[in-house]
Amino acid sequence: MKTLLKWFALLLLPALAAALWLAWPDVREPALVEGAALPATAARIEQGRYLARAGNCIACHTQAGQAPYAGGRRIGTPFGDVFSTNLTPDRQTGLGAWTPGEFWRAMHHGRSRDGRLLYPAFPYTSYTRVSRKDSDAIFAYLQSLPAVAAPRQEPELRFPYNTQLALRAWRALYFRPGEQREDAQRTAQWNRGAYLVEGLGHCNACHTARNALGGIDLARNYGGGPIPTLGWEAPPLASPQPMSDAQAAEMVELLQGGTSRHGVTTGPMAEVVFHSLQYLQAADIDAMVTYIRSLPPVGDAPVPRQPRVSAARRAELMRSGEPIYRQHCADCHGQQGEGRDYVYPALVGNRMLTGASAGNAIRSVLLGGYGPSTARHPQPHGMPSFAQRLTSEEIAAVLTYARGNWGNEAPAVSPVEVQRH
Ligand code: HEC
Ligand code: HEC
Ligand code: HEC
């Protein structure tokens, strides 16, 4: 009996595991099509450079202080860290030996040249929508870069997330490969916007909440939510009320220049504008906003649990917040929170101060920051950090005041919540 069990363990278990592995349905994969490689003309390379910017490849694939596109940047996930790879044409460590077909398979299907399934920290859940033609142009551009030797770094993921079986299961649940289809009912501009937002822009990688397994919650697409490991929250892009023309025009300004009449992008969004959106043609930004305006509303985002603040305590915070605001904030943000056009963001009507969650506002006050430097606004003004200058009680008070004044009607902020950041 004992030996039987031993044989079972030795032979049958691995066989069962192998059978499970083979049987686990991976998403359907089309055959690798090489086709006739298009010549890498200067125009195609230029087109590829533009598209790589639209995809913001450089932000993840460059490590601070190192050669652009040589990879090695650590990307945090709730399951551990992964490292971006070398996209320069080095033959040993980069894409030098890759074919356009293999590159497309990575973009479209999340599979590396050697057959390994890739971690979705590489947002191929969005890039799968990119056309083969555009993928070929990006490849031509990457192949035109100077080759840099930079070997791949092993991911530091916890078991079982570091296994290919886990990736297969994840893909079966959350990954649907497929190019973006034209919607014949819509205008060419809308279709272009959908292609950019859903594909290269990978906007829902941040602007849609993720479930416990890191899957993008498409039922609440563009409903916003916390960005795992970054500590920032992405606001919803789908708005409950139709966006007015004036609001849409401001969004165009914000995405193109990082600073609009009333707003400034900050944190991770400032990086998206800095590396990517500021380089896009005005027509493409217009198209993206046209698409964003059409997103169906998804209802309020689930708000992380917050400490309760009683009505009496709220009134106290409001009272003590006012003089703090006058002393530390009003010079820039205005007596009525009106800000200064194209210089200091308005706090009245600001999503960070009208939303249910105060997380981003707390972060802004603690850390301070700058909007992105762009061609339109080369020297954006800064916001000082208040972490050393104000106590948690004072920050809670000033934010409660700013969230409850001038027509803003958001809940109070408790000092405990400030301390959590
Ligand atoms: C949000 C971060 C992020 C962005 C943006 C991003 N990548 Fe990546 N990429 C990664 C990570 C992380 C990996 C490694 C995944 C792994 O090891 O499984 C990767 C892997 C790849 C690979 C596979 C390389 C190999 O050796 O298997 C290719 C090809 C690639 N990226 C191309 C691109 C292109 C092209 C863009 C822009 C259109 C881009 N990436 C944008 C994070 C990113
Ligand atoms: C890396 C995460 C990330 C990605 C990717 C990202 N965003 Fe954002 N976005 C944020 C965060 C965080 C904020 C809140 C901070 C701010 O307002 O600057 C934000 C804010 C915004 C705002 C301002 C919303 C408001 O009402 O204040 C707009 C508009 C926006 N993003 C559009 C986009 C579009 C379009 C894309 C795709 C091209 C995109 N974002 C991709 C993280 C991201
Ligand atoms: C010296 C001018 C200055 C002072 C003083 C200042 N801010 Fe700011 N603030 C800015 C600028 C510029 C930005 C945009 C840059 C950024 O968000 O990183 C900003 C951004 C913000 C934001 C994020 C809003 C957004 O849309 O990006 C909040 C919230 C905020 N400030 C609140 C405050 C509060 C509260 C105080 C006082 C405790 C204060 N600020 C003091 C200049 C200032």
Q: Could you state, in chain order, the average pLDDT of each consecutive group of 10 residues for the chain (421 residues)?
A: 58 59 63 74 96 98 96 96 98 97 96 96 98 96 98 95 94 94 97 98 96 92 92 92 95 98 96 98 98 90 78 96 98 98 97 92 96 96 97 98 96 95 88
Q: Which residues contact 312 (CB under 8 A, 6 or more apart)?
A: none
Residue from 244, 254, 269 whose mutation best tests the ligand 2 pocket (most atoms within 8 A of CB): 269
Provide DSSP, 25-73. Answer: -PPP-PPP---PPPP--HHHHHHHHHHHHHTTHHHHS--TTS-TT----
Helices then strands, counting H and E runs in the chain, come out as: 19, 7
Give residue 30's pLDDT: 66
Nearest residue by C-alpha to atom 2 in ligand 3 = 332
Classify residue 80 as left (phi > 0), alpha (psi -120 to 50) or beta: left
CATH class for the domain made up of 188-293? mainly alpha
- Residue 256 Cβ < 6 Å to ligand 2: no
Give residue 305's pLDDT: 75
Nearest residue by C-alpha to atom 39 in ligand 2 = 203
Ligand of minimum distance to the alpha carbon of 365 = 3
CA of 400 from ligand 2 middle (Å) equals 24
Distance of CA 9 to the CA centre of its chain: 45
CA of 139 from ligand 3 middle (Å) equals 40
Provide DSSP, 279-331. Answer: GS-HHHHHHHHHHHHTPPP--PPPPPP-----HHHHHHHHHHHHHHHHHHTHH
- Residue bearing tokens 């958001």: 410
In the 3-class helix/strand/coil scheme, how is 2-18 assigned residue by residue? HHHHHHHHHHHHHHHHH
Q: What share of the chain is helix, strand, coil (3-state, %, to 5)?
A: 45, 5, 50
Q: For CA atoms 408, 409, 413, 418, give the dihedral sign.
A: negative
Q: For CA atoms 202, 35, 86, 143, give the dihedral sign.
A: negative
CA distance 274 to 254: 11
Strand order in the sheet with 80-83: 74-77, 80-83, 156-157
3-state secondary structure of 401: helix
- Residue 358 Cβ < 6 Å to ligand 3: no
CA of 384 from ligand 3 middle (Å) equals 7
Give residue 292's pLDDT: 98
CA of 288 from ligand 2 middle (Å) equals 13
Q: Are 100 and 34 in contact (CB under 8 A)?
A: yes
Alpha-carbon distances, residue 1 vs 6, 16, 216 (angstroms): 9, 20, 49
Q: For CA atoms 384, 62, 53, 290, give the dihedral sign.
A: negative
Token pair recorded at residue 164: 């290919």
* 311-419 has CATH 1.10.760.10 classification: yes
CA distance 158 to 78: 10
User: End-to-end distance of the chain based on CA atoms, in angstroms?
Assistant: 59
CA of 251 from ligand 1 middle (Å) equals 28
- Residue 216 Cβ < 6 Å to ligand 2: no
Q: Where are the domains of the chain?
A: 35-174, 188-293, 311-419
Give residue 108's pLDDT: 96
Token pair recorded at residue 47: 């087109």
CA of 339 from ligand 3 middle (Å) equals 9
Q: Which long-range contacts (CB under 8 A, 24 or more apart) does 34-40 make?
A: 34/99, 34/100, 34/101, 35/100, 35/101, 35/132, 37/99, 37/100, 37/136, 38/100, 38/136, 38/140, 40/140, 40/143, 40/144
Nearest residue by C-alpha to atom 26 in ligand 2 = 351
> What is the reported pTM?
0.94
